[in-house]
Each structure stands twice: as C-alpha cells, then as structure tokens.
Amino acid sequence: MLARSMTLRFFSAAAAGKKVAVLGAAGGIGQPMSLLLKDNDKISHLSLFDVVNTPGVAADLSHCNTRAKVTGHAGMDNIEAALTGMDVVVIPAGVPRKPGMTRDDLFNTNASIVQSLATAAAKYCPNAMLLIIANPVNSTVPIVAETFKKFGVYDPKRLFGVTTLDVVRANTFVAESQGWNPRTTNVTVIGGHAGTTILPLLSHLKLDKKWSDDELHALIKRIQFGGDEVVKAKDGAGSATLSMAYAGARFTSRLLDALAGEKNVVECSYTQNNVTSLDFFSTPVTLGPNGVEEVHSFGKLNAVEQANFDAMLPGRWNILQLSFKLLIILFI
C-alpha cells in the first residue's frame, strides 16, 4: 500500500509540471519572485535569465528543497537555452523607477529591452504564455503583441499584462479600512497599470463601513499611486520590488492552476479584448489550458467610477500612440 501511494504521488506530480522562465531574474523583482515560484510544485523547471549574475541566483535557489529544477543563463548569447521548451515566460526585466519618475518615464529604456526579449521568445518558445511585468505595462504589452505579429506567432489568448499589484494593493488598503481579512478581500481593478488608468471598482463591494467622499477619493488615489508611496519611502533606493514580486508570483501561480485544469480561475489582467474601444484593457478574465478562456465585462459603474473611466481614455490613447511610434523606429 505504501509503495502504491508513493507511486501515485510521483505520477501526479510528474504530470503537473510546467517549465517557467523568468527574464530579469537577477533584478529587484526577479529574485524574490523566483524564490516564490521555486516553492510552486506545479513548476518542474525554473529557467532564470538576466544579462549578469544569473548563475549565482540559480545556484542559491537550487539549494531550496522543492521540486523545480533551476538553471541560470546570463547574457543574450544564452537566451535560446533559457527559453527553449518553456511553457510560461515571465518578464520583469527593466530599470526600476526612481523618485519623481512615473512608469511612463521608463518607456524609452524598458520598451527596447522588452522588445528584444519578446523577439527571442517569438523565436524560441512561440507557444508559451507571456506574462509582462516590465513597466510601463500599458505600452510594453502592445509592443510584445506587435513583435509576435511580426514573426507570425501572435495569439492574444497567451499574452498577459500583469496588473495584479493593483489588485493586491486594493485588497490590502480596502481590508485595512474595513477591518477585513486582506486574504479574502477581492477588489476588481480595471483599466491599465499607471496612475489614473488604474480604476478600482469599489462600488461593487458590500461595505461594513461607508466611506465619506474624502475617504473614498483618498483611497482611490492611494491605490492608483501606491507605487509612488513605496518609491518615496525607499528614498531613491528602489521601487515596489517585493510587493510586485508577490503579485507576479500570484498571477503566475493562478495561471499554472488553470493550465493544470483547475476551473473558474479568474484574475484581472491587461489583455487584448473588445470590452472597450481600446485594443488593450485590464478586466477580469477566466484562465484556462489555452490562456484566456473568457473575457468578462466589468459591470455597472457608479458616477465617480464612470467619471474616472471617461477621464482615463485620452491618456491611454496617448500611451498606446507612444508604443506604436517606437515600433516604427524598431521595425523600419
């Protein structure tokens, strides 16, 4: 009986394993996120890539007694080895924000980094799920889409902008205000992943304590600009790396659950859809074995949310236009 039990456990574990690559694994987000992913038994191989220092990170992580095999790959000469055969690719690579910078200020540097990594992914693992964390997500996700289109391998169901940090912050701040358990608080956050494009749907919650207008506006602003709070608190020494690593690992883990066959896995994500007039928009999506299984409408908005929604659209168009201007430079 013991031998049979051990055999069943081994077979079940072996059947579930996925290969996950983290591009930017030696950075402030990549290292802690890789640690969290190493603890996920649905991962059989964790492939770590960065321009430098990756072998050391991989060696360190490999000593953790969890299932995933860890390999480290440094430099673009080794990116083929890092990506070949991967089921999921997570991209936190890029430079961090500093005091006074917005996510959009990172555009010129991070967009070119993401485009080069997307080119490699299109060549070496075109069928992988692509999870984009590198800011500005509102712009980097369309760049990845256009890169994959160039190689004829684009599938919108397999490309995700990870906006989970906005959900995590909303859950934390709302729970703090209401005296709830943040683990069981679930706030829908739609829009994008930068400032006023982040729209928490607080009217969808059943509150124990009603907020005043001032409290409501302050809470919305804190959710939208929570990253600034961290950048300021770190006094120029970094941005929101740990909370972003947690959020990135959470979304990756939920996607792995869906890939393993779990039903009703719903997360907010910035994907290509027709929910609004914009090509890309963050809204709840049901995840499945092939990526996006269903895109959900975000429901009714109250007056405050509708005003914020209407105000975000011109800014989102400007951001997307920047993306496509860069694409012209990169591809022509």
Record the pTM.
0.91
Q: Which positions are catalytic?
A: 193
pLDDT (0 to 100) of residue 269: 99
Task: Please enumerate, by residue number, every residue annotated as part of a binding site for substrate.
Answer: 97, 103, 135, 169
Q: Which residues pair with 226 in a beta bridge?
A: none
CA distance 121 to 123: 5
Least Cα distance to 69 among 50, 41, 49, 36 occurs for 41
pLDDT (0 to 100) of residue 175: 98
pLDDT band for position 1 (50/70/90)? very low
> Tens digits of per-residue pLDDT, 263-287?
999 999 999 999 998 899 999 999 9
Least Cα distance to 252 among 26, 5, 38, 105 occurs for 38
How many other β-carbons are positioned within 10 Å of the β-carbon of residue 108? 10
> Tens digits of per-residue pLDDT, 311-325?
887 666 566 656 655
> Tens digits of per-residue pLDDT, 178-199?
999 999 999 999 999 988 999 9
Task: Please enumerate, by residue number, every residue annotated as part of a binding site.
Answer: 24-30, 50, 97, 103, 110, 133-135, 169, 244
Handedness of CA 188, 313, 134, 296 (dihedral sign): positive
Average pLDDT, whole number, for the chain?
91
**Long-range CB contacts for residues 292-295, cutoff 8 Å, separation at least 24:** 292/156, 292/157, 292/158, 292/160, 293/157, 293/258, 295/271
Where is average pLDDT lowest: 30-39, 159-168, 230-239? Answer: 230-239
> What domains are there in the chain, each with its CATH number?
16-163 (3.40.50.720), 164-319 (3.90.110.10)
Q: What is the mean pLDDT of residues 7-21?
A: 63
57's enclosing H/E stretch is: helix 54-62
Q: What is the mean pLDDT of residues 257-262?
A: 98
pLDDT (0 to 100) of residue 24: 98
CA distance 132 to 136: 10
Task: Please enumerate, by residue number, every residue annotated as part of a binding site for NAD(+).
Answer: 24-30, 50, 110, 133-135, 244
pLDDT (0 to 100) of residue 254: 99
